[in-house]
Amino acid sequence: MLLTQKDAPLMDALKDHLMNRVVRFDVPGHKGGRGNRELADFLGDRCVQIDVNSMKNLDNLCHPVSVLRDAQQLAAEAFGAANAFFIINGATGASQAMIMSVCKSGDKLIMPRNVHRSAINALVVNGAIPVYVDPGENKELGIPLGMSVEAVERAILENPDAKAVLVNNPTYYGVCPDIRRIAKLAHEHGMLLLADEAHGTHFYFGENLPCSAMAAGADMASVSIHKTGGSLTQSAMLLCADSVNADYVRQVINLTQTTSASYLLMVSLDIARRNLAMNGREMYRKAVQYVDYAREEINRIGGYYVYGDELCNGDSFYAFDRTKLSIHTRNTGLAGIEVYDLLRDEYGIQIEFGDIGNILAIVTAGDRALEIERLISALS
């Protein structure tokens, strides 16, 4: 049967599995919740009933041949990749598999100083050598930027034996480099382009947002679907172009990923992919509307500066993720982490993070106008 983006093959297989009333003489030991009633009452019966182990009709993530293979292929098509791998250890697991697929001990990897710790940890494990590029910073805001094309080119020319270039697309603060030019530059020198897109799921489905890694010509991208794509926490994908040997990548993933992959996490990826493919454009249009409104209102308060694409410089700050509500707080006399604590402790508002001078609010279509107003009022 020809599958389309309207299908969710893993979800359908799990529904059929529940209808079959299979006798459970396998793990997990809670046996659909009957062996731990408190767990079932807290999480819900349906949740623990589909917390199952790999079996013939539900496929196996280590070597998918049926419903998981189909779900991953639909994901690849939705994200514009040749192959997609479900990762149940977050974008951390995806980034580490990505790096270890490309580099071995002693190989060089060009990367910005502000990479996620998962990339550093991958080098610790496999012995590859980092070649750091200073991404620069916006001194007024105290935030790192993206790598400039000139800085990347200099690193490539000084390290022609490097295997790949790694970029953040975007940074935590929403800053994107000129990923198309960096990809072209890497390929011209025989290197792969790897992208940490932990915070960039929406680039693949929204309008008037920065360029996604796969559209820019990247060879691999780690995408944290749970952050802005609607899947469960800890679920992610590793996207690969046809320039990468998918069978080898799967072998590398299997070195570190569990053989008991959670079907709750995997089915959330299947359902999230379908939702993004069918409704993503409208979802992220709504998110951008919320952020644009909040930016205007918060900037009117005084003291705060909610920054946006007016800071783009065509290079190290090539594009800005308009779904990010990034707020500079120092001119109010408060550090970002102080505002973070005040919002949580005094107003019951949980912000994504705070640093010396900034806070970040993650806004999605799952938010409501009332909550946006509540945040604006609390900041006031």
Q: Is the dihedral of CA 235, 241, 245, 246 positive or negative?
A: positive
Q: Where in the chain is the domain with CATH 3.90.1150.10?
A: 278-379
Q: Which long-range contacts (CB under 8 A, 24 or more apart) does 156-162 make?
A: 156/110, 156/185, 156/186, 156/189, 156/191, 158/131, 159/108, 159/110, 159/131, 160/189, 161/108, 162/107, 162/108, 162/109, 162/110, 162/131, 162/191
Residue keyed to tokens 């794509």:
229
Contact 9, 71 (CB under 8 A): yes
Which structure tokens are listed for 133?
A: 């590029």
φ and ψ of 9, to 5 deg: -60, -35
β-strand partners of 221: 195, 239
Q: Is 108 helix (H, G, I), strand (E, B) or coil?
A: strand
- From first to last of its 380 residues, the chain has per-residue pLDDT tens of 799 999 999 999 999 999 988 888 888 999 999 999 999 999 999 999 999 999 999 999 999 999 999 999 999 999 999 999 999 999 999 999 999 999 999 999 999 999 999 999 999 999 999 999 999 999 999 999 999 999 999 999 999 999 999 999 999 999 999 999 999 999 999 999 999 999 999 999 999 999 999 999 999 999 999 999 999 999 999 999 999 999 999 999 999 999 999 999 999 999 999 999 999 999 999 999 999 999 999 999 999 999 999 999 999 999 999 999 999 999 999 999 999 999 999 999 999 999 999 999 999 999 999 999 999 999 99
Pick the CATH number of 9-276 from 3.40.640.10, 3.60.20.10, 3.40.720.10, 3.40.50.450: 3.40.640.10
Q: How far is CA 373 from CA 84, 279, 297, 303, 377, in A?
A: 38, 25, 9, 18, 6
The count of residues in the chain is 380
Q: Could you check whether the bond before residue 170 is cis, i.e. omega within 30 degrees of 0? A: yes
| Torsion-angle region of 370 (φ positive above 0: left; ψ -120 to 50: alpha; else: beta) | alpha
Report how far residue 16's alpha carbon sits from residue 327's, in angstroms, rounded to the nearest whole number: 47
β-strand partners of 194: 166, 220
Q: Is 97 helix (H, G, I), strand (E, B) or coil?
A: helix
Report how far residue 195's alpha carbon sits from residue 119's, in angstroms, rounded to the nearest whole number: 11
Report how far residue 136's alpha carbon sits from residue 149's, in angstroms, rounded to the nearest whole number: 12
10 Å CB burial of residue 292 (0-12, 13-18, 19+) is middle
What is the reported pLDDT for 24? 86
Burial annotation 120-142 (CB, 10 A radius, 16+ → b, else e): eebbeebebebbebebbebeebe
pTM over 0.75: yes
What is the reported pLDDT for 25? 83
- Alpha helices by DSSP H, listed for 103-178, are 117-126, 149-158
Specify the CATH number of the domain 278-379.
3.90.1150.10
Spatial neighbors of 227 by CB under 8 A, at least 6 apart, are 91, 198, 199, 201, 362
Q: Where in the chain is the domain with CATH 3.40.640.10?
A: 9-276
β-strand partners of 222: 196, 238
Report how far residue 302's alpha carbon sits from residue 177's, in angstroms, rounded to the nearest whole number: 30
Question: DSSP assignment, residue 146?
Answer: P
